[in-house]
Each structure stands twice: as C-alpha cells, then as structure tokens.
C-alpha cells in the first residue's frame, strides 16, 4: 500500500470524566478527516465536553459496518486519516469495529491505537479481586435462557471474569452466575470516573449489598473459585529455579536436555504454583544472555 494512504486511529475516549482524554488523542481527533462512531450525536457531545472540535462523523454500528467498509477503505486509500471511537472507553472490546480493522490489515492500511480509558481494566484495578488471569466477556446475553450458557464454560477455570450488564437485568444475571459458578467474590463497578462513582463488594450467593436497580454504566468483576486464587511467583521460588537451571546447564547439555532435566527436578517443588516448560526455557535463555554479557564485558 502506498505510503500516502491514511491512518485509521483507534482512539479510547473517557468513561465519564472529560479530563481522561489524553492530549495526544485530543490533537489527533481534532485533525482527522472524519470520526467513525456508533452514535454520532452522543459522540459529538462527548468530544465537545472534552474540548475537541471534529471535522465530522461517519456512523458505524453493528447493523451497517459491512456496508460502510468499502467507502471507509476508499477514504483511507485516498490519504484521509480517520479515527474510530467508542461511546466510552476503548473501541472494539465490546463495540463494532473489528471487521473494519481486519479489513484494513488485509489491505495493508495502517491501523494505530490511541490508548486510554478501558472499563474492564479500570474495574479490575480497584476491585480487590485477583486480576490475572482474567477473561473479558463483553455484554451478558439479553435473553435469560442464554445466561447459563454464557457462564458455563468458565465454571471450572481458575480465572476472574469481567463483563457488562444493564441495571434491569443485573440481579437475574448474578443469580444465574451464582448458580453456575458457585460462591465467589465479586465487585460491582458503576459510573466509573463520574460524580456518583461506586464500587460494591459482595459474594455471588448474597446479593443483599446491591441496590435493586443500580443506576448508570455497570461493570461486574467476578473472582476465581474461592481457595484457588492464582499463586504469584515468590522471589525465593525464582532464585531456586535459577539455581537449578545453572546447575543443569553447567553439565554441558544442550538447551532441550537442560530444560528436560530441570523440568524433572521442579515437579511438585513449587506447589501450588506449577512451573511451565516455557518459563524454564525463557529463564535459561535469560541466564545465558546475562552470562554472555558478563563475559564480553
């Protein structure tokens, strides 16, 4: 693709507080040829509050994304810079835009992120629930019959879950989650970065702490099965692992044999945290790089 082609900027917008729009994002949004938005009126008001004067909008939502693709790609190929935004937060995570970005990649057009606010990351950062590993599920299903299937694949997985839900469906959704996932810690995050921001911690089998219809935008964080929080690596564990790797490496074996011998030694040695073969390879390579640098120095 010609270097004269335009750039598609994927720009994060504030969850609520206009001050969260980065200066770089504001400058680029003010300068692009058009801004692609799901709700152009709402996006116009949002950017006006952020002090951004746009050059115009193009509507892009789930019902017209495929239809819009040829025209948007033509604009980019003709050298026009465009920006894709969400109503709030980072685009694509729970909004249209994936098809457009994929089409740009296939055409060799440049797509670049303008990082910023993200509701899943914001909620995880303050929930007090193990953040890693986690799965972001997007919006919970509208139909009650689909919600059990929504949570079922994660019932046996040791990870935290993050999803969005409407206020009028929240209690039913969480009751289904409790039935499928069992007793777990959870946190409701609503109106993040706005005037009435609120975070409520509770357990899935006891929703008494939650208002019947909490107002505003709602993000829910559900923790892993109780008693199975992912064990974080301890510094002493890593020191012992590096010692084992050095001892086996000094035997003069190749990398694969060294890793195999270390793998045999660590089985059960770091319970409850299992040391993966990939991690042994990585730490062995790092130690070799360090030794090489010391020798050359």
HSE (side-chain half, CA atoms, 13 Å) at 284: 23
Q: Return the minimum-mean-pLDDT range out of 134-143, 191-200, 275-284.
A: 275-284
Confidence of residue 280 (pLDDT cuts 50, 70, 90): confident
Q: State the fold for domain 7-117.
A: Cobalt-precorrin-4 Transmethylase; domain 1 (3.40.1010)
247-266 confidence digits (pLDDT tens): 888 877 788 888 888 887 77
Residue 30 burial (10 A CB sphere; 0-12, 13-18, 19+) = middle
Average pLDDT over residues 104-119: 95
Chain segment 35-77, per-residue pLDDT in tens: 999 999 999 999 999 999 999 999 999 898 899 999 999 999 9
Q: Quick one: how many helices (H) and strands (E) in the chain?
A: 10, 10
pLDDT, position 2: 53
Domain limits, the chain: 7-117, 120-222, 235-296
Mean pLDDT to the nearest integer, 174-193: 94
- Residue 297 banded pLDDT, cuts 50, 70, 90: low
Tell me which residue of 66, 76, 62, 58 sits closest to 100, measured CA to CA.
Answer: 66
Helix axes 170-181, 144-151, angle to 10 degrees: 40
To the nearest 10 degrees (0 to 180), the angle between helices 98-107 and 65-77 is 40
- pLDDT for res 12: 96
pLDDT value at position 110? 96
Largest CA distance in the chain: 69
CATH of 120-222, one of 3.90.640.10, 3.30.950.10, 3.40.309.10, 3.40.605.10: 3.30.950.10
Asked whether residue 272 carries a pLDDT value surpassing 50, the answer given is no
Residue 283: its pLDDT value, please? Answer: 80
Supply 214's token pair: 């909490």
């Amino acid at each position: 693709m010609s270097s004269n082609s335009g750039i598609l900027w994927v720009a994060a917008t504030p969850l609520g507080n206009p001050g969260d729009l980065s200066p770089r994002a504001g400058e680029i949004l003010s300068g692009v040829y058009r801004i692609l938005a799901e709700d152009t009126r709402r996006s116009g008001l949002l950017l006006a509050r952020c002090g951004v004067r746009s050059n115009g909008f193009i509507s892009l939502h789930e019902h017209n994304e495929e239809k819009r693709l040829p025209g948007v790609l033509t604009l980019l190929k003709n050298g026009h810079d465009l920006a894709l935004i969400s109503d709030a937060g980072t685009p694509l995570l729970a909004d249209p835009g994936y098809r457009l970005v994929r089409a740009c990649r296939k055409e060799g057009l440049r797509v670049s992120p303008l990082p910023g606010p993200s509701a899943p990351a914001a909620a995880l950062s303050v929930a007090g629930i193990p953040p890693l590993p986690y799965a972001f599920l997007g919006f919970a299903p509208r139909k009650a019959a689909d919600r059990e299937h929504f949570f079922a694949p994660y019932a046996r997985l040791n990870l935290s879950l993050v999803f969005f839900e409407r206020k009028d469906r929240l209690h039913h959704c969480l009751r289904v989650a409790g039935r499928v996932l069992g007793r777990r810690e959870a946190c409701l995050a609503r109106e993040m970065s706005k005037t009435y921001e609120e975070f409520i911690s509770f357990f899935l089998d006891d929703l008494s702490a939650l208002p019947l219809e909490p107002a505003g935008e709602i993000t829910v964080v559900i923790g892993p099965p109780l008693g199975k929080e992912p064990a974080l690596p301890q510094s002493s564990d890593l020191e012992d692992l590096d010692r084992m790797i050095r001892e086996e490496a000094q035997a003069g074996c190749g990398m694969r044999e060294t890793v195999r011998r270390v793998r045999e030694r660590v089985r059960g040695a770091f319970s409850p945290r299992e040391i993966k073969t990939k991690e042994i390879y990585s730490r062995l390579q790092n130690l070799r790089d360090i030794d090489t640098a010391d020798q050359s120095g």
